[in-house]
Structure 1
Amino acid sequence: MLIERAAAPLLDLIPALEPHLDARTPCTEYTVRGLVNHLLFWAPSLTGGATKVIVVPPDATEAELDLTTGDCLASLTDAVTTTVKAWSDPAAWTGMTHMGSPMELPASQVGGMIAGEFLVHGWDLARAAGRDLTVEEEVAEALLEELAKTAELGRQMNIFAPEVAVPADAPALHRVLGLTGRDPQWS
């Protein structure tokens, strides 16, 4: 499944993040800790999308809640694993679903967005830790196709930054990063 394959590099990376929690990330509004908090904040909604259950985020904003107390990296591993498991059911990819709001979207589109979230934020976290993220070319190609469908909407919603020019013959991961407003050469 796409989400499982997109999440695998992130899951492999999580244990190495401990010494880097205060590092900057290519996702400019977040440090590593902030990005972990972001992923933990939205995890219930991402999982709920698989079961077609609207999981409304807490009344507090993501910035107002600190979900990184305790062993936040173990919590992140659990959250990502739970989301992957929920989306492993083929029924999760059918029909319409929600992602933290009453607005319905095609489940396959939501699944693609979640896979992109894991891949791109996995790369953000890897770069902040001074590492590369190894992603299967086939997975990156599939996500490039998926994210291209919603990139303009993502920019309108300030989810994606303006596109960064990347050569057409660059690896698919670099093209995904450029599409989402990241410089693949960020260090």
Structure 2
Amino acid sequence: MALSDLDPAERHRRIAATFTDRVRDAKAWDAPSPVPGWTARDVVGHLVEWFPPFLAAGAGVELPSGPSVHDDPVAAWQAHCDGVQALLDDPDTALRMLTNRHLGEVPLDQAIDRFYTSDVFMHTWDLARATGQDDQLDTDFCAVLLAGMEPIEEVIRSSGQYGLRVPTPADADAQTRLIGFIGRDPLWTPA
């Protein structure tokens, strides 16, 4: 079944499993990443650190805390990932709302899916590139994300969460176009 056809809990399970594999196989945590100024450790730190306050402020949800990414990025990611998955696996999550001044009210499971799980998906490429691992993303899901993001490009860019679009060839595959759209050089490799 395609990633885009899954419910939020199962989509997170699959996307997070791929990211978890990259986390577990990473060896050089201080290696530069395609995100300017970030290391491989910072990619994991970003996901572990931005999302808990977003949930707490918008839905009153407190995720269990784990070790710091500085001390143990693998254990920090696993504790965080397990907490998010438990939240998505809880049937009551779909009945809760997340309220945000920029988004309004969104069902909690949909907010996690739209803003967090897609972030994990895209940062899988960053971590894989930084650590010399398989960086292939699901092509169909890349196309789905890109199709959803392109019409709201101005809003996305104004958020400050994405870099300037990197031009890609017109005939580039969906992954290359998505990576360029989010402000990464699809040809980036560690120096």
- TM-score (normalised: structure 2): 0.74
For residues 170 and 109 of structure 1, the distance between their equivalents in structure 2, rounded to whole angstroms, comes to 30
Task: State the match for 2:116 in structure 1.
Answer: 114
Q: 44, 48, 55: which one pairs with 1:36?
A: 44
Identity between Structure 1 and Structure 2 (%)? 26
For residues 55 and 90 of structure 1, the distance between their equivalents in structure 2, rounded to whole angstroms, comes to 15
In structure 2, runs of 5+ residues without a counterpart are: 1-5
Partner amino acid, structure 1, of 2:12: I
For residues 26 and 42 of structure 1, the distance between their equivalents in structure 2, rounded to whole angstroms, comes to 19
CA contact under 8 A between 1:112 and 1:147: conserved in structure 2? no
In structure 1, runs of 5+ residues without a counterpart are: 57-65
**Residue 126 of structure 1, CA deviation:** 0.6
Cα 1:81/1:166, change in 2 over 3 Å: farther
**Residue 152 of structure 1, CA deviation:** 2.5
Coordinate RMSD, CA, aligned: 3.1
For residues 36 and 170 of structure 1, the distance between their equivalents in structure 2, rounded to whole angstroms, comes to 28
The number of aligned residues is 174
Partner amino acid, structure 2, of 1:86: L
Partner amino acid, structure 2, of 1:104: G
Task: State the match for 1:184 in structure 2.
Answer: 186
Partner amino acid, structure 1, of 2:187: Q
- TM-score (normalised: structure 1): 0.75
Q: 166, 169, 174: which one pairs with 2:168?
A: 166
Task: State the match for 1:4 in structure 2.
Answer: 13
Which one has a bigger Cα radius of gyration? 2
Partner amino acid, structure 2, of 1:27: V
